[in-house]
A and B are shown apart, each in its own frame.
Chain A
Amino acid sequence: EVQLVESGGGLVQPGGSLRLSCAASGFTFSSYWMSWVRQAPGKGLEWVANIKEDGSEKYYVDSVKGRLTISRDNAKNSLYLQMNSLRAEDTAVYYCARDCLSTCVDHWGQGTLVTVSS
């Protein structure tokens, strides 16, 4: 069974940093692209970033470029999101997600809440 478990969310002040982690199990982690998707309170889904199987390619939505960085450690079956220079508009539930072999997201974690507020 595919399992994705996020951790690292919490309350942070504007301009602060946070690092999210995602522990993956139940599948060959190194064979899949992985993504982060977020959802602001009461709002829709927003794709944030994804990373190739070996970490050699990464894509980001414009609003996070230069501030959020996706990475992975295949030896630890883990996905990360380093979040710097956080803004109030980054407040959201962040989901770790596995990409389909074609273009979609086929498994999601339970999400971790990030709140940016003073």
Chain B
Amino acid sequence: QSVLTQPPSVSAAPGQKVTISCSGSSSNIGNNYVSWYQQLPGTAPKLLIYDNNKRPSGIPDRFSGSKSGTSATLGITGLQTGDEADYYCGAWDSSLSVYVFGTGTKVTVL
């Protein structure tokens, strides 16, 4: 059972914006960096955001991350059909000494 909670699904029309929340605790998000991952259907996950709000090279600035207290948020602007995927947050949990992923959110482009 994941210790990071995400909404099961979000949706919006092409060109619109969606935000995905990730709720944790002081042992994970509250005191460690948050990362976000995109998993397109049938493929391996890909790193989208690391260190709360940094983008690896090649990731467009339509993707953004933020953190406040024990919660984090992924934002996707200018939504495209190619953004339809599952998105996961992740963070190290200092109490459990494990890396924890969120429950995952399916993004649908209407």
User: Which A positions have Cβ atoms within 8 angstroms of B?
Assistant: 35, 37, 44-47, 50, 59-62, 95, 100, 102-111
Contact = CB atoms under 8 A, between A and B. Distances in A.
B101 A109 contact: no
Interface of B: 2, 32-33, 35, 37, 39, 44-47, 50-51, 56, 86, 88, 90-92, 96-104
Contact of B44 (A59, A62, A106, A111): A111
Contacts of B56: 106
B20 to A, nearest CB: 14
A47 B103 contact: no
A95 B101 contact: no
Contact of A106 (B33, B50, B103): B50
Given A44-B2, A108-B46, A103 B32 contact: yes
Given A45-B45, A95-B44, A110-B44, A104 B90 contact: yes
Contacts of B97: 59
B91 A103 contact: yes
Contacts of B45: 37, 45, 95, 105, 108
Nearest to B44: A108
B33 A103 contact: yes
B2 to A, nearest CB: 7
